[in-house]
Amino acid sequence: MMKSVGHIVKTLRAGEAGATAMEYALILGLVSLVIVSGIGLFGDEKAGNWSAIASTMKAAQD
């Protein structure tokens, strides 16, 4: 298994198609990192908003 993966990596590094594939993989990784970071940052903010709405609704119900 490792020999076949190593062979694929060597083949990709050797050609121009490999460089393009590596560039796309790098771009995909960076975009994924930005998305996950954004969800983490804005997720906490949105959770606070939902908690405030729930508290307001509960207070109005009482």
Give me the pLDDT at residue 1, please.
Answer: 53
What whole-number distance in Å separates Cα of residue 49 and Cα of residue 62? Answer: 20
What whole-number distance in Å separates Cα of residue 11 and Cα of residue 39? Answer: 36
Whether 38 contacts 31, CB under 8 Å? no
User: What does pLDDT average to in each consecutive run of 10 residues of the chain (62 residues)?
Assistant: 71 69 91 91 80 90 78
pTM above 0.95, yes or no: no
Give me the pLDDT at residue 38, please.
Answer: 86
Give me the pLDDT at residue 34, please.
Answer: 94
Give me the pLDDT at residue 2, please.
Answer: 61
Give me the pLDDT at residue 21, please.
Answer: 82
